[in-house]
Copies of this chain bind each other. A is one copy, B any other.
């Protein structure tokens, strides 16, 4: 069906999955890494840097903006994008605590 049954999962599970999903594309990872590297830049810079068409980069930026991991500021005819630090740190914590839930002790039951 191609449609996720989100209603059978907790809000926490859906939220974490939706963030992971957005991070689940190399172009979006590359966009984030470049934004961190240069602090802030415009869409056209990312088009050059990454090598995808402008509408494609614009679409990826939209998804990153949707979950709030980046934000854009209008500057004349262009839009200056950068990481949304507050949300970044919140997501950092969410992933950290997700990975931290695994006990450090060895499995005994099987595996």
Name A residues whose Cβ lies closer than 8 Å to a Cβ of B. 4-6, 8-10, 13-14, 16-18, 20-30, 33, 36, 39-40, 50-52, 71-73, 75, 80-85, 88, 91-92, 95-96, 98-103, 106-111
Closest 8 CB pairs between A and B? A21-B24, A9-B26, A20-B23, A82-B111, A92-B99, A80-B110, A20-B24, A17-B26
* Chain B residues, CB < 8 A from A75: 110
**Cα–Cα, bound, A25→B18 (Å):** 7
**Set B25, B40, B95: member contacting A99, Cβ < 8 A:** B95
Tell me how far the C-beta of A38 lies from the nearest C-beta in chain B, rounded to whole angstroms: 9
Contact A8 B80 (CB under 8 A): no
